[in-house]
Amino acid sequence: MTPGRTGTRGLAAIGAALGLFLLTAVLGPSAFVPELPGAAGAPPFSLNVRPPGTLLVVIVVLGVAAGAAGLALCLTALRRGWRVPASRLVGAGLLVAAAFAFLPPVGSTDHLNYAAYGRMAATGHDPYATRASDLPHDPVINAVQEWQDTPSVYGPIATAGQALASRVGGDSVKVTVFVLSLLNLAAFAIAALVLHRTARDETARLRAALLWTCNPLMLFHLMAGAHNDVQAVAPMVAALAAFRAGPGRTLLAGALVGAAAAIKLPAALVGGGPAWCLLRARRWPLPAALFAAAGAVAAATFLPAGPHAFDQLRDASNMVSLATPWHLLDSLLHNRAVIKVGWVALMLALVWLLYHALPRDPLGDAAGRERQEGRRVAAALVLAWLFAAPYELPWYDGFGWAVLALLPASRMDQIMLVRTAVFSLAYLPARDPKLVDLPEALRWFLPSVVRSVIVPVLLTGVLVYLVRWCLAERRRAAPPASAAAPRG
């Protein structure tokens, strides 16, 4: 099959996947689309078909499969020389993202939590110390379906956006969620445009469009799912794009890292890339400027948030999500202390392996190579966290796809694709089984077998493959013994 035909089929599969995801949202309240209280004429808009949950499981599984296959075909065609105008894909991806913003969120009920935290902040309550169950009579907070006894875990900039949405939406859950989706759309578009402008040539721009703007799995999780992780991605990629080894750019990169951390704390990992470059080059005033700028933004946002801003983060550090490989170990040991030590050790090992395996870009001047080195180190840190952390959800993978889009192509693209596709199947839908319209057998099978057994086993296999690939890349890049130690 020619590269052109492969790429065309890949785009067709991506289009089919996005069509299935859009259909799921358009049909309205269902097992995948939580009900949004509010006026019928207010956005987001949908029909009121109320399709059976079993049908939607089939539709979304087909969408995930088609999206993963389509992206794999496009990446294969790209390696073989296929080219289409990247700007067209960027435009198409942004149009689909905008369409999702005007439709009700799909998959989980997290957007109801965001609306509740914003309502708390807008009405004078501390979302870091208040639970939804504490305010059962509020029309917005009462819409929370899950995590009713959990205060906010999100950073103060995310909370500020949620409060803004609440002030606009008032007593309407629908309008509040719609404003939150618009904020996500703005962040998604900023990240897309930064990646497009940062890419060195048309091939890199096309790859960035496929990995981010037209990535059907990211459009499903971040835009259709309305997860606020996308808001942290925008300053993450902007920080790496802005970084230069000079005072002004270093301060800007540090400030953007601080802003990303104030949305979702793990986003701060990208700051490790610029920091590594500056420390290794012994540009001593500049690392201090980087840390000072990041610290200043973090202090300016976290200090007003109050003493409870980190409470839920501490609690979350003890959690293990059902679909990660750590769940298998947790089921056997029932010892979270061992898991804490184990995942930190695994992450450090993966950082070292990925640092040696992720591709280097030999082109460009010394400054350009330094910037690329910073992005590569940042990618190693972010990807190591994604693969090692015991509590992960599929929409967290947006961090990984965004940093990968800044690097040259490698086998890591395919590894990430398999991970995200498999991970996606664990959360269809990502809701409490008691709340969804599914047959009793399916309501048991999806979380108890697929999410808790099959997917963790498959992701363990993906992790093993990642380690083997990293070791193989390191051996391949190492100079022969004769070259490394010339004879005397």
Which three-class secondary structure state does DSSP give residue 192? helix
Please give the backbone phi and psi of residue 82, each rounded to the nearest 5 degrees, phi first. -65, 135
Annotate 100-124 with b (16+ C-beta within 10 A) or e (fewer): bbebbbbbbbbbbbbbbbbbbbbee
Which three-class secondary structure state does DSSP give residue 207? helix
Query: Are 101 and 22 contacting, i.e. CB atoms less than 8 angstroms apart?
Result: no
From residue 177, how far is each of 45, 121, 125, 287 by CA, in Å? 12, 15, 19, 40
Residue 35: CB atoms within 10 A of its CB come to: 16
Nearest to 400 by CA among 389, 421, 416: 416
C-alpha span between 420 and 393 (Å, rounded): 9
Q: Which tokens in the block code for residue 105?
A: 């969120």
Please give the backbone phi and psi of residue 408, each rounded to the nearest 5 degrees, phi first. -65, 160
Q: State the pLDDT confidence band at 475, using cuts at 50, 70 and 90.
A: confident
User: Which amino acid is present at 48?
Assistant: N
Question: What's the pLDDT score for residue 488?
Answer: 39
Which residues of 398-447 form beta strands (DSSP E)? none
Nearest to 65 by CA among 325, 417, 457: 417
pLDDT digits (tens, 9 = 90+) for 197-251: 999 899 999 999 999 999 999 999 999 999 999 999 999 999 999 998 889 999 9
pLDDT digits (tens, 9 = 90+) for 294-308: 999 999 999 999 989
pLDDT digits (tens, 9 = 90+) for 58-116: 999 999 999 999 999 999 999 999 999 999 999 999 999 999 999 999 999 999 999 99
The strand pairing partners of 430, in sequence order, are 108
Whether 485 shows a pLDDT value over 50: the answer reads: no
pTM across the whole model: 0.96
pLDDT digits (tens, 9 = 90+) for 363-418: 667 777 888 999 999 999 999 999 999 999 999 999 999 999 999 999 999 999 99
The strand pairing partners of 108, in sequence order, are 430
C-alpha span between 473 and 467 (Å, rounded): 10
Residues 6+ apart with CB under 8 A from 440: none
- Burial, 222: exposed, middle or buried (Cβ in 10 Å; 0-12, 13-18, 19+)? buried
Question: What's the pLDDT score for residue 480?
Answer: 57
Long-range contact pairs involving 480-488 (C-beta distance under 8 Å, separation at least 24): none
Q: State the pLDDT confidence band at 479, using cuts at 50, 70 and 90.
A: low
C-alpha span between 188 and 230 (Å, rounded): 6
Range list of H helices, 317-428: 325-333, 336-357, 366-388, 397-404, 411-425
* Segment holding 418, helix H or strand E: helix 411-425
Whether 141 shows a pLDDT value over 60: the answer reads: yes
C-alpha span between 330 and 320 (Å, rounded): 8
Query: Are 146 and 109 contacting, i.e. CB atoms less than 8 angstroms apart?
Result: yes
Name the CA dihedral angle for 440, 443, 447, 453, rounded to a multiple of 10 degrees. Answer: 50
Residues 6+ apart with CB under 8 A from 387: 346, 350, 419, 463, 466
Q: Which tokens in the block code for residue 254?
A: 């540090």
Nearest to 53 by CA among 425, 430, 443, 323: 443
User: In the predicted model, what is the mean pLDDT of the chain?
Assistant: 94
Query: Are 412 and 404 contacting, i.e. CB atoms less than 8 angstroms apart?
Result: yes
Q: Which tokens in the block code for residue 411?
A: 């086998």
